[in-house]
Structure 1
Amino acid sequence: MKNYILILLLIVVATGYSQDYEKNFQVADSLVYAKTDTIANARKGYELYRELYVEVPEKVSFWHVFDMAYAANKFNDPETGFYWLNKLVDEKYKEEDLSVIFKYAKDDFYQLQEAPKWGIFQEKAERKIKAYQTKLKSQQEKWMQKGLGSANYASLSDGKDLYHAIRDFEDYPNLPSAVFGFIQLNDTLDNNFFVRLPKSYNPKQPSKLLFFLNGAVRHQQIPAYPNTSLEEGWQRFYKQYAEENNVIMVYPNSNKKFNWMLGDQGFGMVTDILKTIKQFINIDDDAVFVTGHSNGATGSFNLLVKNPSAFAGFYGMNTEPKVYTGGTFLKNMNERWFYNISTDEDYYFPPKANDTLVKLAKKLGLNYDDHRYNGFPHWFPQFPESEESIKNSFKDLKSQKRNSFSNHLYWETDDVKNGKIDWLAIKKLDTLQPKKQWHQEVNFTIHEKKYYDEQDSLRTKKVKERAFDFPRKSGAVKANYKDNVFRLKTSRVSELSIFISPEMVNMNQPISIYVNGELRYQKKPTYNRDFILKNFKKTYDRKAIWVQEVRLEL
């Protein structure tokens, strides 16, 4: 009985200590980052942190040590500051956190940066960061060599056998729940991304996948390597519902130059990342989706109307549904849909303009579905009430599938780099020709916008602006097929391609292609082995496998 009481007392005392330590960490943090009497409070916070470091070293995190270095910078003690900065590099904290030292150095270590030791410390930290990058890239390469990226089809000389071998592939490696990856943006620069696999992920079974594109791309920086912070903060509910619904989450990084909205240099990064991870993660090719907030939601919309072939559907929260790099061709939404989450106090895109867009989409038979939440500003994800909207997005996502072989397509473009939708591709434009009557610009006028005045109060002003810009002339194609017969109508297009799949036609019978009422092609389709392999390696898509390309000059 005495032993029992002693054990109980020890548990109570230990629990009390645990609560005290947790409270003391909070107090230390508040002192270090105090906005009044900053130097004196920084010293007090530092001393409390140092006591905790001695008493409970196992509870001291990377960020606690970071705070001690930050405090030393405040009271201008370089020796102490570098002591703790070196701890961050030398001790076994998570390597993924290292780059934040330099991300915040200008503001947090402004005095330490003036010290001679800063250059020595920076060189040491960058060596460790470089080693960590190499480690992550090497790990990715190993995974790719164990998955679809290493599939050897050289021995398959028959195109039909190759087609079925690709469709039947399922040999993927086991992976940790957190995957860090890289892609090349150009010859000298790479980008990185973070993948969160749900606990129920099975490498033998294809999984749904959702990209989350961040906002504020003008203010982002691409870090030295990805980290799990991409799934925190405003993205917290995505992590929760992806886990519940067995959905893989992918978080790309971006910056002002390379992103999914401004300019075209980074527009292809989402599809490049998808191509990369398909080589070692078992993805359901017909269940890949894109979402985002603000600039990220605009990026999701841009993919919908410029390059949707790899995706099943698109979502966005507080979206500006507009293409910044060319024309916004709304009728391109004919084969995919956009699930929009809007708020009535949003300055980014006027709520009334969004209502007009919903009506216009309905009139045109397009899939633009808006879900309005009243009483919230542009930064809706910050609020707990946004959870419902994200939960409903995942509910919608579970029921959706891509159809790469639709019998009817419409596609319009002013840039042939984005001229393909599923089995139809516009290869060349002839914008000197007049438009066909059915090829009409779709636009509307915005009459009011919301803005914040100098007192940070939300106001409404009257405007008269066109919703979309059309800086270049476009070409368009309407196409359908049935019983091996393709019929196309074109406007301002001088060359196009039809991609053939056994899912679309009877491979034992000739196909006929009529363009503007004229028979332009009639021949039995083939399984072109070299074309299948070359085209497959552009996407690593195991379901939309094209066995032949028919290219026509008009």
Structure 2
Amino acid sequence: MVQIAFAQNYDALIGRAAEALNQRNYCKAFDIFKTALVDSTKVTPYDYYAAAISATNCNDDKQALLWLSKAQIKGLGLAKEDIPYIEKDSSLFKLHDYTEWLLFISKMKKSFSDQESKKLKKADEWLNTIYVNAIQPKGNRKFNKPNSGFALYFTKVDSLHVPYLVYVPKTYNRLAPTKTIVFLHGGVVSLDDFMHKDPEFANEPIFSIGEKFNAIVVYPFGKKDFGWVGQEKAFKNIYTVLDQVEQVYNVDLKNVYLGGMSNGGTAAFWFASQNINRFKGFFAISALPKLKIEEIRFKNLAQGKPFYSINAKDDDVYPYNKVLEIYNTTKSVAKDWHFQTIETGGHGFIYEPEKGIQILDKFFGELLSR
């Protein structure tokens, strides 16, 4: 209880200090920061930075430089835009003649350079792994043995080479037909390029679901002009992707599920509402059931193929009440649609540590058992 009370008090103090800074009441802000920053694990590098501004403008340059040093240790300068902004910040010009200032800037630049080198190395290792893990089809429903983990493949749509990942769980047996999940990720509407070179995609929660339920996970990449919003060619390419995967891996053809997150989940409604589809079930996470390419045929969500969706009440991207209204309006005909709700978590609740995975485990446990 003491820790919770202190955390709440810290947030209140930081809010008051920020308000004083906005009013250029630097000495008042400085006094508040001195109290707030004494002992708290909640301090961010940007809290220390703001505190340093208050200190130097209240004529305590020594304290300002000390807080800047702590901000650097906490990670200030690791964001690409941090260092140029800090070097030009007129609020800190008084500190530029100090040796400690030059050391502070130097340490930030080195940390940023080291971070970028690590990122490049990690990206190179990632690309090498996913290329090496890609295997060739054997034919006649016989399959080569793959490495577990990620492999990268491509389809060709007109002149575009479209990448997709296949995740193979450690328990995969090439001699046994294996359930498969096709996952359409969200957040592609602002992407100029496919992001298959980014190793951070390995942390997507859906891959832990594949591991837990011994399911192959197929993860197509999209971008703003080839994604899950208004580009029908991207939708239809999913069938080509699946055709290729079924040639390379022992997919249980009667046990393939499709769905996605955000606009990827919205796209799942299109696949589910086709008159004939090859999927056993569908899912949508934080999705709005409203397509741009055509109207959803909700009456076709009654073909004996479960469609599970889940939304948080505090979603700030797709308002929960709007999604609920569509469900209530169509549930009499969309008999396969199972609508689930969580109280909090926002649009990206699946990315919350521990809690997100727990929700997904339960969600997919229900869907995959149908």
TM-score scaled by structure 1?
A: 0.45
Which residue among 115, 123, 136 is the counterpart of 1:143?
136
Deviations 1:86-105 (A, max 9, x none): xx5xxx7653668xxxxxxx
Deviations 1:368-413 (A, max 9, x none): 111111133223233343333211122023313xxxxxxxxxxxxx
SS of match in other structure, 1:363: coil
CA contact (8 A) 2:288 2:318 kept: yes
**Closer, same or farther: CA 47–221 of 1 in aligned 2, 3 Å:** closer
Matches within 5 A, 1:121-160: 136=131, 140=134, 143-144=136-137, 147-148=138-139, 151=140
Give the number of the structure whose residues are more often strand, by fraction: 1
Name the aligned partner's letter for residue 334 of structure 1: A
CA root-mean-square deviation: 3.2
Matches within 5 A, 1:493-512: none
Which residue among 270, 273, 290 is the counterpart of 1:305?
273
Whole-angstrom distance in 2 between the partners of 1:174 and 1:261: 36
Whole-angstrom distance in 2 between the partners of 1:365 and 1:300: 14
1:502 aligned partner: none
1:205 aligns with 2:205: no
1:399 aligns with 2:369: yes
Q: Mind listing any 5+ residue stretches in structure 2 that lack a counterpart?
A: 1-71, 89-101
**1:317 Cα shift?**
1.1
Matched residues, number = 280
1:44 aligned partner: 107
1:259 aligns with 2:227: yes
Whole-angstrom distance in 1 between the partners of 2:112 and 2:234: 43
CA contact (8 A) 1:294 1:317 kept: yes
SS of match in other structure, 2:164: strand
**Closer, same or farther: CA 27–251 of 1 in aligned 2, 3 Å:** farther
1:390 aligns with 2:368: no
1:194 aligns with 2:165: yes
Whole-angstrom distance in 2 between the partners of 1:38 and 1:285: 59
SS of match in other structure, 1:278: helix
Give the number of the structure whose residues are more often helix, by fraction: 2
Whole-angstrom distance in 1 between the partners of 2:329 and 2:259: 22
Matches within 5 A, 1:356-435: 356-364=325-333, 366-384=335-353, 385-400=355-370
Which residue among 243, 252, 257 is the counterpart of 2:211?
243
**1:227 Cα shift?**
5.2
1:344 aligned partner: 313
**Closer, same or farther: CA 226–288 of 1 in aligned 2, 3 Å:** farther
Whole-angstrom distance in 1 between the partners of 2:122 and 2:207: 24
**1:175 Cα shift?**
0.7
SS of match in other structure, 1:285: strand
TM-score scaled by structure 2?
A: 0.66
**1:322 Cα shift?**
1.8
SS of match in other structure, 1:174: coil
SS of match in other structure, 1:268: helix
Matches within 5 A, 1:441-460: none
**1:292 Cα shift?**
1.5
1:172 aligned partner: 143
**1:282 Cα shift?**
0.5
CA contact (8 A) 2:196 2:221 kept: no
1:280 aligned partner: 248
Matches within 5 A, 1:288-327: 288-306=256-274, 309-327=277-295
Name the aligned partner's letter for residue 200 of structure 1: T
Name the aligned partner's letter for residue 180 of structure 1: L
**1:219 Cα shift?**
0.9
**1:348 Cα shift?**
4.2
Name the aligned partner's letter for residue 389 of structure 1: I
Whole-angstrom distance in 2 between the partners of 1:264 and 1:365: 23
Whole-angstrom distance in 1 between the partners of 2:182 and 2:241: 10
Larger radius of gyration: 1
**1:281 Cα shift?**
0.5
**1:37 Cα shift?**
3.4
SS of match in other structure, 1:364: coil
2:50 aligned partner: none
**Closer, same or farther: CA 254–94 of 1 in aligned 2, 3 Å:** closer
1:441 aligned partner: none
**1:48 Cα shift?**
6.2
**1:295 Cα shift?**
0.7
Matches within 5 A, 1:51-62: none
2:58 aligned partner: none
Whole-angstrom distance in 1 between the partners of 2:297 and 2:112: 57
